[in-house]
Structure 1
Amino acid sequence: MITAASTKLNLSITTFKGKFFMSRNLIEMIDSYAESNGDRISYNYNGRQNTYRELKTDSDALAEHIDAMALKLNQPIIVFGEKSFEMIVAFLGAVKSGHPYIPVDVNSPSDRLKLINEIAQPAAVIAVSPLPITLPGVEVITNEELERICLEKVTYHNTHSVHGDQTFYIIFTSGTTGVPKGVEISYNNLMSFVEWIKGSDFNLPADLQMLQQPAYSFDLSVMSLYPTLYSGGTLHVLSKKTTDNFIVLFTTLPSLAVNVWVSTPSFVTICLLEPTFDQAHYPQLTHFLFCGEELTHKTAATLKKRFPDAHIFNTYGPTEATVAISQIEITNQVLDDFNRLPIGYLKAGVHGQVVDDQKKPLPSAQKGELVVYGNSVSKGYINNPEKNRQAFYQVKGHNAYRTGDIVAMREDGLLEYFGRSDFQVKLNGFRIELEDVAGLVSQEAHVKQAVVVPKYNAQHTVSMLIAYVVPQDETIKNELESPAAIKKNLTQTMMAYMLPQKFVYRKSLPLSRNGKVDIRAVINEVNPK
């Protein structure tokens, strides 16, 4: 029997489709490229390129520094910043030293950062970018200190990195009460995902040159991050300033040697507005992987015409099940057979049940809520037993998660998606709790009461958020000035992607029989059948 102790390499035994095979420890695999080909480019961002040698030496130095801080093992470390190379150094440095990391984007409101700190109770904060507020009672490695630490040359012994069922990273999503939830993803969860992405379901190129589009606080970023580094490939990273400026974006994209595209469907829909975004101008681009929101038939069909030889994959998965758990290649046949695209077949090691309101399994092809269990499902939300009881339970000895997604599963296992069972939506790839946004809008000084609802387009995806507002007496002079004032104030408390795009004013909001605001009535008004 082969064990980690019986070989110099840290190998783990994994099952895939009933067969045993051995995979090398994630951290050791990434570090190995520094030894075998240290000048290989690991990170390409804003004209700056960093090698695997730099990735190892910098993360080793940081790990040794964290060890010297004598923090409690397995207690998380917040990593605050944008998308620079130092963010990845901080992730790996934390994990090498035995700590999960919590990525927090530099554009997060201060209140959100404060809440995450209160909920997660981190051992430390690595401020890759300067912190906008003081976090009391937490040790902080400032960006200046991080720069000095990374100049040190150390010989680090990787003896206690995160492994097995220990938490590797924690992604915070929005919560229904305005309080974010921290999803704990273990090392085993992550490796199951990485091996799936690198496996035969996708058949990606051996030399991975992957696009990195979303912020690291969004779990879609993991789809390119760790499969690429585990393979010794290169991450080609787009900054928010680049993606926000169409001219800059299409000056930058042709210069990137990307062969695998990973993004939300919304982002590629924007890119399709550029006529030169096609196979003739990007001949090396052979694979497209989409996740984070529904891939519409219109977007997929347009992309297939532009890139007729490329492999286009629709994937699906909640943050609570490690990025994605199902896939289907969108071929011309799939486009012919489905008006609304299916979300694919579950990956090996993950099982799904379609259940009714009583959690009882439903027959094939019948609509119900999707419950998933298996090797990708999170252990739960950090320090949140109430939400864990609501969302997680045991199925056949495995942790199971209630996705809240309405699906039907065909006899061959193909999943078709029919929307959400609650008031949670996806907009531009971001998961948004409507009640969360409404609560924040209601707290704004000009607003007495509010409800926020989605506006759907013909492709069944959310095109915008609309806030129905009951104003405070005599505070709103006209409907042209007030939205700007409200939005300006809301930017202090919520992320930009959560801001409603339109405000509608009412003297009162409709109530349901139990006296609560009837959100469904407003949704039906905005989206008449």
Structure 2
Amino acid sequence: MSTVVDLVRQHALAAPGKTALLCGDRTVSYGELWRRAGRLAAALRDRRVGPGDMVALHGPATPEFVAAALGSWLAGAAWVPVDQQLPADRIGHLLGDSGSRLVLDTGSRRHPATTLPVADVESLTGADSGVDDEAGADAGVPGSGPSGTDLAYVIYTSGSTGTPKGVCVDHGPLALHLRHVAVDYGHVEGDVCLSFSSPSFDASIEEIWLPLVQGGVLVVRGAAMWTGPQLFDRIRGYGVTRVQCPTAYFEAFFADDLTDADVAALAGVRGIYFGGEAVSAAVVRRWSNGPLGHIPLYNTYGPTEAVITATSRRIDRGWSGGDRVPIGSAVGGHELLLLDADGHEALPGQPAELYLGGPCLARGYLGRDDLTAQRFVRLPGRDGVFYRTGDLVRLDDDGELIFLGRTDRQVKLRGFRIELEEVEAVLVGLPQVRNAVVVLDSGPQGRPRLTACVVPQGPAADELPAEVRRRMAELLPAYMVPDRVLVLAELPVGATGKIDRERVLAVTGGAR
């Protein structure tokens, strides 16, 4: 099977002068991207980095990030994205746990504190060295690239034990997923696709590589965080035809009443794709019945372990569904199985846990054979491995999946998976905190937020909530830091002596 490396190479050889990347006022052709990747692969091999090794990509999604990812693959290495906004301790854990050989900085403007060698991608790829697009695209490119069974990337997700876990994805499942999703989404070679997600969010893998394996144009955001008007201005300016973004950004930027200028800016868009958490049915209904209802929306679902997107629901003009937007049916390469608590296949309408099978699955968790065995399971009478998602779903009357919630305490917030136990473990590790519980509740305007209820070790000073949030920001990614901290004398418990989370929600005043 062809890998992403093979497919990008084909486009670089066939049309080296064709635009591959747009970022700010920069334009990078397929030939230039390929040669930059080749120079980086050669530099890695000079440093004895090759098959079986791991490198860290530190920084935002830039042309350098794409060249570094492609060049690492071409050298035979896998990579792990490292968000430059993460706390230093978190970055140190990711670098150590992944076994990264070196760090490639993609434009963060600040190198991480590490004993590993750090190199700027721009200096390794010759970003300012004037490249002749008419030269042979394979000039100076070493090696033949990876096979389908080689490791492609590792993305870390929140862990219930208090430690993030790395999800390992091979080249074969990644390329197969991209081939299927291109058909399901109706992508064509002439599409101009916007990638908005952070590289540490697995949706960015699909956003970046789907257009490039199709021979399309990829618009990367870089380090800047756009406002709604800036987003619409760039959609118009770049001629974007496909927009992918986390659900939270879709609701923030596209949910309000659109002006005539907004409608004009989005006139060339042929599809908007979002996922990562449940979308508001009211927002979707307003869009599909508004002036841009002819632009289809795609509500997508998929855990990192299932190679990005496992299900999708296309929503066309005039949608008038209920209070939950379906997450649809299986994307090609994925098999859906709904099992009840006894392991029996669930009936339509019956809540059940979703299992995902098929060839588009991760190989497991890096260095965590025990956890891999718990979540990637074999089922009696069924072929292959299935991933236990922990997500509760049901089939509606049309045979489409409706997401209901979780079987455990994992939550989704702003597109990121958060194990509440991990946040609690960090809280109780603070010297000021004796006990803690974290809940996802509703803040102003009904927006979800993380609330931490803490019991202090001694008398609580007025500044304790602010101090707790400050220390949490030093230890956890920003999306895992509680939005507010409430100080309690004791945590409410039930008759069994366990924390009564319903009473905790009542205390927070923002029940969900």
Of 470, 485, 500, which residue of structure 2 is paired with 1:488?
470
The question of 1:262 aligning with 2:241 is answered no
The question of 1:182 aligning with 2:146 is answered no
Of 204, 214, 221, which residue of structure 2 is paired with 1:221?
204
> Secondary structure in 1 aligned to 2:312?
strand
Whether the 8 Å contact between 1:367 and 1:406 is mirrored in structure 2 is yes
Whether the 8 Å contact between 2:82 and 2:91 is mirrored in structure 1 is yes
Give the stretch that moved more between structures: 293-302 or 31-40: 31-40
Q: Could you state the TM-score of these two structures normalised by the residue count of structure 2? A: 0.89
1:162-181 to 2 correspondences below 5 Å: 162-181=146-165
CA distance in 1, matches of 2:506, 2:346: 28
The question of 1:155 aligning with 2:139 is answered yes
CA distance in 2, matches of 1:148, 1:349: 38
Of 413, 417, 430, which residue of structure 1 is paired with 2:403?
417
CA distance in 2, matches of 1:411, 1:251: 40
Q: Which residue of 1 aligns with 2:9?
A: 31
Whether the 8 Å contact between 2:300 and 2:309 is mirrored in structure 1 is yes
Q: Note closer, same or farther for the CA distance 1:211–1:148 as it changes in structure 2 (3 Å cut).
A: closer
CA distance in 2, matches of 1:306, 1:418: 30
Q: Which residue of 2 aligns with 1:401?
A: 387
Q: Note closer, same or farther for the CA distance 1:462–1:427 as it changes in structure 2 (3 Å cut).
A: farther
Give the stretch that moved more between structures: 56-65 or 341-350: 341-350
> Secondary structure in 2 aligned to 1:266?
helix
**1:263 Cα deviation (Å)?**
0.9
Letter in 2 for 1:114: G
Whether the 8 Å contact between 1:351 and 1:374 is mirrored in structure 2 is yes
Whether the 8 Å contact between 2:40 and 2:68 is mirrored in structure 1 is yes
Q: Note closer, same or farther for the CA distance 1:179–1:306 as it changes in structure 2 (3 Å cut).
A: farther
Q: Which residue of 1 aligns with 2:310?
A: 325
* Aligned residue pairs, count: 499
The question of 1:463 aligning with 2:448 is answered yes
- Percent identity, aligned pairs only, is 26
CA distance in 1, matches of 2:231, 2:316: 28
Whether the 8 Å contact between 2:39 and 2:125 is mirrored in structure 1 is no
> Secondary structure in 1 aligned to 2:265?
coil
Q: Which residue of 1 aligns with 2:135?
A: none
Whether the 8 Å contact between 1:487 and 1:499 is mirrored in structure 2 is yes
The question of 1:377 aligning with 2:356 is answered no
For each residue in 1:75-127, what CA deviation from the matched residue of structure 2 results, as whole angstroms up to 9, or x when unmatched? 22111111221111110011111111111111111111111122221233223
Of 263, 273, 287, which residue of structure 2 is paired with 1:303?
287
CA distance in 2, matches of 1:192, 1:72: 24
CA distance in 1, matches of 2:420, 2:40: 40
Q: Which residue of 1 aligns with 2:343?
A: 359
CA distance in 1, matches of 2:228, 2:465: 26
Q: Which residue of 2 aligns with 1:53?
A: 31
CA distance in 2, matches of 1:37, 1:424: 46
The question of 1:286 aligning with 2:270 is answered yes
**1:69 Cα deviation (Å)?**
2.5
> Secondary structure in 1 aligned to 2:179?
helix
> Secondary structure in 2 aligned to 1:378?
coil
Of 403, 417, 420, which residue of structure 2 is paired with 1:431?
417
Higher RCO, 1 vs 2 (CA within 8 Å, ≥6 residues apart): 2
For each residue in 1:323-349, what CA deviation from the matched residue of structure 2 results, as whole angstroms up to 9, or x when unmatched? 11111111346x324321111011233
Q: Which residue of 1 aligns with 2:480?
A: 498
Of 110, 116, 131, which residue of structure 1 is paired with 2:94?
116
Whether the 8 Å contact between 1:62 and 1:149 is mirrored in structure 2 is no
For each residue in 1:121-175, what CA deviation from the matched residue of structure 2 results, as whole angstroms up to 9, or x when unmatched? 1233223346654434x44434575355985988345644222122211111111
Which 5+ residue runs of structure 1 have no aligned equivalent? 1-11, 13-23
Q: Note closer, same or farther for the CA distance 1:512–1:356 as it changes in structure 2 (3 Å cut).
A: farther
CA distance in 2, matches of 1:220, 1:188: 17
Q: Which residue of 1 aligns with 2:134?
A: none
Q: Note closer, same or farther for the CA distance 1:223–1:302 as it changes in structure 2 (3 Å cut).
A: farther
Whether the 8 Å contact between 2:294 and 2:316 is mirrored in structure 1 is no
CA distance in 2, matches of 1:456, 1:163: 46
Q: Which residue of 2 aligns with 1:20?
A: none
**1:36 Cα deviation (Å)?**
2.9
Q: Which residue of 1 aligns with 2:73?
A: 95
Q: Which residue of 1 aligns with 2:64?
A: 86
Q: Which residue of 1 aligns with 2:436?
A: 450
Q: Note closer, same or farther for the CA distance 1:70–1:381 as it changes in structure 2 (3 Å cut).
A: same
Q: Note closer, same or farther for the CA distance 1:263–1:247 as it changes in structure 2 (3 Å cut).
A: closer
Letter in 2 for 1:47: D
Letter in 2 for 1:111: D
CA distance in 2, matches of 1:261, 1:178: 34
For each residue in 1:357-396, what CA deviation from the matched residue of structure 2 results, as whole angstroms up to 9, or x when unmatched? 3433222321111011111111111111121122111243
Give the stretch that moved more between structures: 34-43 or 292-301: 34-43
Q: Note closer, same or farther for the CA distance 1:50–1:392 as it changes in structure 2 (3 Å cut).
A: same
